[in-house]
Structure 1
Amino acid sequence: MVKPIFNGSWQNMSYQVLARKWRPRTFEDMVGQEHVLQALIHALDNQRLHHAYLFTGTRGVGKTTIGRLLARCLNCETGVTATPCGTCSSCQEIQEGRFVDLIEIDAASRTGVDDMRELTDNVQYSPTRGRFKVYLIDEVHMLTNQSFNAFLKTLEEPPEHVKFLLATTDPQKLPVTVLSRCLQFNLKRMTPEHIAGHLRYVLTQEGIPFEEPALWLLARAADGSMRDALSLTDQAIAFGNQTLSGSDVSNMLGTIDQSDIENLVNALVEDDGPALLSEINRISDFAPDYSVILADLLSLFHRVTMEQVVPGSVDNALGDAAQVESLARRLSAEDAQLFYQAALMGRKDLAVTPDARMGFEMTLLRMLAFRPGTDRREPPVVASGASQAGQESREDPEPGPAAAEKEAAAAGSEQAPQPEPERLAAPEPEPTPQPEAQEPVPESQPAPASEEPDAAWLASLDEAAESAAAEAAGAEDYDPEPVTPEPEYIEEPKAEASQAEPAKPEEPKASTGPVEPAEELVDNGEFAWERDFRSLGIVGMPGNLASNAAMTRQGDEIVLTIDEGHARLLNARHEEKILEALRNRFGATITLRVEQGDAGGRTPAAWEERQRQARQKAAEDSIRNDPAVQSIVERFEARVVENSIRPPNQAKSG
């Protein structure tokens, strides 16, 4: 058996941990609780002492330490003073924890009513050594209700030689009857600056070499507790073999240091995806808590935004004030807000992601991908999706998806599949309703020039519209608007050509009311472009664009004049569809030329809108002038709901 070797000294066996060795011995040694110390010092100097003090605060902020210092101030042989001598027997005994008149009670282990009755029975006895008998009760909130009830009378009116010093980390659990009998002092959590400054002083006095980043890592890990900071420092000294380096402390805590956070943010700012992923791979070797990293990023972006909005407001809470100021100059306000929101949402998503690292990576990649002005990083068109569209590609630029979608929505509400020409050639014996116009596409809102169309997307849009037209072509009463039956455009040209059929007297007023629009038409033989456009059977986006154009014909050449907004949406494929329909109607020798200009209201869409308004007005006049309606209004004090009036063909479909 190996026997230990005794070197003649027990010095190493009497090592005292830093948290106990560097416990404050005077009020001046206390760090970060100036608001409490000032009140106590003034009370001691003016001899205005209360009989019960309650110190609250999180762990390790100095509650029991202040209690022991106050006991020394009350029992120092030089008198009641805020600066005890520290050399008298009373001061030394209190410092060493053997003063008979300082009774420390752990309420967590002595919660019974019998323990409290024993305390109250002994309160009446005078102090043995000191001026006051001081009861220091730690974790007082752990007492039972019966114990509090037994203690209340004594706490309210103790003997003059007794002082009660209560300490708790959870004052919410104390009865209000106890709180009302004490002077309450809430001790603050230590700031990282206070902790790092105190650690710097302690390590310098101990002769332990250290790196500055290591102090800030310990200060942040202590979470406001000076005792925890000193305990972690003890652990770090042992881990690093009597030295404190940032890497050793980071490995010990399982966290990353501030330089790693800086590297991540620099990769984001520089828009460097490979560097970002490389940094993530490196820090993942430490198996860090990714939620903590995102919390650090949130804190950083918050401080960057504060510096941008209020220059000079940045603090040095993490020892990185210079970095925050630099980022505030390099990072735009939009990017800072985006990064903050992405980190905030990513931290919430970590709880539901299958893998924490995956969620962390996606959060940072989201920051990189969705920064303002990322249109330059749009992904290329997938080959499988673009192959078919490439066959129908064209040289003219198309609108972006947003603009095309908007125009397609307008086209869907304005244009619907038309019946075949053969159906139009056989007029039905019913009265001929005037065609109802579709809502025209606004001509005053051209699509932005920067929006580029997607070939495959527009091709699929046209195909979908054509497919819908083919399915609905056989519908008996199909209407280009959701609530309007399809007008029969062939009736009016025949009536004009022959003048043989007189107007039918039984035709309803709603259908004869519109002002005759023939004078507005540009007639090319028997075909009037505005009135007879729908008979061409052009559907989808080509039909929508052509309906917003004016037409002139010079021999075999047809010229379409279209405004700038719709001209931007027109491409070679659309022109082919329009030309094909024109050749089916006028012959294979027809050519098409599209000009950009003012159509002057001579478009099918504008003509149909005028027809719709005229028919609507006729319907409203018919209702107002109807004797039956007038009689109902007069007899029953009724009123006509104007918005509910629809022409007959609309009412039938509605």
Structure 2
Amino acid sequence: MSYQVLARKWRPRTFEDMVGQEHVLQALIHALENQRLHHAYLFTGTRGVGKTTIGRLLARCLNCETGITPRPCGTCASCVEIQEGRFVDLIEIDAASRTGVDDMRELTDNVQYAPSRGRYKVYLIDEVHMLTNQSFNAFLKTLEEPPEHVKFLLATTDPQKLPVTVLSRCLQFNLKRMTPEHIAGHLTNVLTAESIPFEEPALWLLARAADGSMRDALSLTDQAIAFGNQKLSASDVSSMLGTIDQRDIERIVNALVERDGPALLAEISRISDFAPDYSIILADLLSLFHRVTMEQVVPGSADNALGDAAQVQSLARTLSAEDAQLFYQAALIGRKDLAITPDARMGFEMTLLRMLAFRPGSDRRAPPAVSTEGSGAEGESRDEPEPAPTVTEPSQAVSALPSETNPELKPEPELTQSEPVPVQSEPQGYADAPADDAWLASIDAQAGSQPDYSESESESESEPEPEPEPAANTAVSSAHEVAQTIEEPPQLETAAEPASPEAPAAQIEDAPAPVVDGEFVWERDFRSLGIIGMPGNLASHGAMSRAEDTITLLIDEGHARLLNDRHEEKIVAALRNHFGDAIQLKIEQGDPGPNTPAAYEERQRKIRQSAAEDSIRNDPFVQSIVERFEARVVEDSIKPISDRPTQRSRR
């Protein structure tokens, strides 16, 4: 008889043989015991966790000759035929190869026929998510209301691809991934029954490599048995998988904990002979330091998922919390850097050396001095680094100023705090300069006396200090003051003050005479009426005339259409509040002309804007900047202060 692989030989024959899917098995067992059976079941989960196996077991439970039971006999004709895969009423369909609508129509046509041998005709459709939309549409009605003698068992690894109409018609069970403990325990039972000698670390290597799949674990075990000549050792399994043993991880961590650099490099050299995946090694280190931190924060929380609970608990007592965090972060960053390092081993070594070198409390010695011939201090090293010179960083505002005499600035000479810079007063050549140009005069005077235009030695204060400050503080202070002056000129706020309502007549183009009713000017004093919202907006576009107690508003047709009774009531209420209760309002449509509050406010806004632009344009401070630095005024950015209440209140 030919050899049968472990994955098929050790396929579960009863629900009790299943490993790690108790939440699914419990629901199915109770449903079978109480005869509460659904017509369609959907089993989802990753590969190799038992979806098809549970479907076949459920078919046996439904068709066992002893009756519907969660514990089929396994000896009757139905159980034997299902176990051997030749039961005529168990129709297994591979949806990945039969995706067409014609295949689904053939299935639905045969559903109506009664089972030949068993109690139920069971359709087991594997990888059902591979069906096309047309196939699902042809299958929906049958799936929703199948005959009494039909049960549908669907299995898929990707339930997100199933239409919601299919999901809503099925009883869904999600099978979990196998944990390393479950896999290692099951492999122990299998290898013991097969009389295969094994080492426990080898089982944990296989359990982690299986990545949650019991079938993959059994297949890898078959491969490892052949590789190790009918025995499983950790070294053989590690070589087969291209990974390193958990004991290698333990030796690396021990070298880090003991600060043993030579041992660490020797261990890296040894494991590099196996050509391992260094990213996986760093992932194992990350998992280890994560579990160590959990054990430190919550004692007793370390599990034996990787068979190293004792090592985790020992490291949690040995390592400090900051060491564990440092190792974790270094491994995390090193794993990202592996993709861009020239050599994977070099990146791995650098990650571990970073953990070793920058661990808190480690010695930080400077490299040994190079010995010269005739020196008596050969091999000595400097324990104390020389103090670094203090370099003043010039302000960006000063370094950005162009020079008329020297457009290319020379590099600033190195300054130390032992070189005081004299504080200069205002040059006499600019004694009659405007107050706004004092700082510019100071810069120009020092630029003429110092050819390399060193900003760090300029000074903008007009009065000398009693004692000169160190160069670093002087340069930073001067640059800071110059930057502040450029960023917020002291005269701008005064120059942008709004113009007086009594502006020269030349600035007002065709300004009409205001309509005066006693002391009340309609277009000028309209806002004092307190009409807000939509009524105020509409009334501001009208011209007012008064005849005794009747006030007439002449409004253009476009705004008059928007007026309604509620708006007129608010306007009348405001007018009566100001002129008396006898006032009546009359609305007329027509051209209101320029005597409207809206037109008056627009004219005033233009006057203020024009005055602000003229004030900026004629300001001697601004003219000095424009002339000396070839600057220009962006007129669109000029706003009267009265038009910027938020900025004025903030300043």
TM-score normalised by length of structure 1: 0.63
Which residue identity does 1:364 align to in structure 2?
L
Q: CA deviation at 1:103?
A: 0.8
Give, in angstroms, the shift of residue 377 of structure 1: 2.3
After superposition, the Cα gap between the structure-2 partners of 1:121 and 1:415, relative to the gap in structure 1 and judged at 3 Å, is same
- Greater RCO (CA < 8 Å, at least 6 residues apart): 1
Residue matched to 1:278: 266
Question: What amino acid maps onto 1:28 in structure 2?
Answer: E
Determine if contact 1:33/1:187 at 8 Å carries over to the other structure.
yes
Residues 80-99 of structure 1 deviation map (CA, whole Å, 9 limit, x = unaligned): 11111222221111111111
1:203 to 191, 201, 221: 191
Partner residue of 1:180 out of 168, 172, 180: 168
Instruction: Specify whether residues 473 and 362 from structure 1 end up closer, same or farther in structure 2 by C-alpha distance, changes over 3 A only.
Output: farther
Q: State the SS of the aligned residue for 1:135.
A: strand
Q: Could you tell me whether the CA contact under 8 Å between 2:183 and 2:214 is conserved in 1?
A: yes
Listed one character per residue, the Cα deviations across residues 177-218 of structure 1 (whole Å, up to 9, x for unaligned) are 111111111111100000000001111111111111011011
One-letter code aligned to 2:134: Q
* 1:651 positional shift: 13
- Which of 450, 468, 474 in structure 2 is aligned with 1:475? 450
Structure 1 residue aligned with 2:159: 171
5 Å-filtered alignment, 1:238-317, equals: 238-317=226-305
Q: How far apart are the structure 2 equivalents of 1:25 and 1:348?
A: 46
Q: CA deviation at 1:270?
A: 1.3
1:113 equivalent in alignment to 2:88: no
Match of 1:103 in 2: 91
Conserved? CA contact 1:418–1:480, under 8 Å: no
Give, in angstroms, the shift of residue 294 of structure 1.
1.0
1:230–1:153 CA distance, 2 compared to 1 (3 A): same
Match of 2:126 among 138, 145, 161: 138
CA–CA distance in structure 1, aligned partners of residues 32 and 57 of structure 2? 12
Cα separation, partners in 2 of 1:292 and 1:429, compared to 1, 3 Å: closer
Post-superposition CA distance 1:408-453 (Å, at most 9, x none): 88998998988899xx9xx9666499xx99xxxxxxxxxxxxxxxx
Question: Is 1:230–2:205 an aligned residue pair?
Answer: no
Asked if the contact 2:456/2:471 (under 8 Å) is kept, the reply is: no
Instruction: Indicate if the aligned counterparts of 1:414 and 1:481 stay in contact, CA closer than 8 A.
Output: no
Alpha-carbon distance between aligned partners in 2 of 1:431 and 1:88, rounded to the nearest angstrom: 119
Q: How many angstroms does 1:77 deviate by? A: 1.3
Aligned to 2:577: none
The structural deviation recorded for 1:272 is 1.4
| Residue 75 (1) aligns with residue 50 (2) | no
Q: Name the SS for the 1:128 alignment partner.
A: coil
Where in structure 2 are the equivalents of 1:430-449 lying within 5 Å?
431=431
Secondary structure of the residue aligned to 1:377 is coil
- Paired with 1:35 and 1:284, the residues of 2 have a C-alpha distance of 43
Residue aligning to 1:43: 31
Of the three residues 17, 21, 44, the one matched with 1:33 is: 21
Equivalent position amino acid for 1:484 in 2: E
1:338 corresponds, among 326, 341, 346, to 326
**Partner of 1:128 in structure 2?**
116
Secondary structure of the residue aligned to 2:211 is coil
Q: Distance in 1 between matches of 2:383 and 2:145?
A: 95
One-letter identity of the residue aligned with 1:358: M
What is the distance in 1 between the residues matched to 2:422 and 2:415? 20
* Matching residue of 1:377: 364
State the 1:15 CA deviation: 2.3
SS at structure 2 position matched to 1:14: coil
- Deviation of 1:300 after TM superposition, in Å, equals 0.8
Deviation at 1:380, TM superposition (A): 2.4
- Structure 1 432/279 Cα, relative in aligned 2: closer, same or farther at 3 Å? farther
CA distance in 2, matches of 1:204, 1:99: 32
Aligned partners of 1:416 and 1:480 also within 8 Å: no
Q: Is the 8 A contact 1:73 1:82 kept in 2?
A: yes
SS of residue paired to 2:173: strand
Structure-2 separation of matches of 1:137 and 1:480: 81
Q: Which amino acid aligns with 1:79?
A: G
Q: Show the counterpart of 1:321.
A: 309
Cα distance change, pair 137–629 in 1 and its aligned pair in 2 (3 A): closer
Instruction: Evaluate the alpha carbon distance shift between residue 352 and residue 318 of structure 1 in structure 2; reply closer, same or farther with a 3 A threshold.
Output: same
- 1:601 matched to which residue of 2? none
Task: State the distance in 1 between where 2:190 and 2:349 align.
Answer: 39
For 1:61, the equivalent position in structure 2 comes to 49
Is the CA contact (8 Å cut-off) linking 2:123 and 2:153 kept in structure 1? yes
Deviations 1:47-75 (A, max 9, x none): 11110001011110000000001001111
Q: Which residue of 2 aligns with 1:462?
A: none
Q: Deviations over 1:357-387 (max 9, x none)?
A: 111111111222222234x2233265499x9
3-state secondary structure, aligned to 2:129 = helix
Q: 2:457, 2:471 within 8 Å by CA — same for their partners in 1?
A: no
Q: What SS is found at the alignment partner of 1:81?
A: coil
Q: 1:407 to 1:334 in 2, by over 3 A?
A: farther
Alignment identity in percent? 75
Residue 123 of structure 2 aligns to a residue in which SS? strand
Report the Cα distance in structure 2 between the residues aligned to 1:269 and 1:406, rounded to whole angstroms.
Answer: 40
1:214 — aligned with what?
202
- Per-residue deviation, residues 25-46 of structure 1 (Å, max 9, x unmatched): 1111100001111111111111
In the TM superposition, residue 136 of structure 1 has moved relative to its aligned partner by 0.5
2:450 alignment partner AA: A
Counterparts in 2 of 1:377 and 1:417: CA distance versus 1, 3 Å: closer
Matched residues in 2 for 1:226 and 1:150: separation? 35
369 and 130 in structure 1: CA distance in 2 versus 1, 3 angstrom threshold: same
Contact 1:419-1:473 at 8 Å conserved across structures: no
CA contact (8 A) 1:483 1:650 kept: no
Deviation at 1:299, TM superposition (A): 0.8
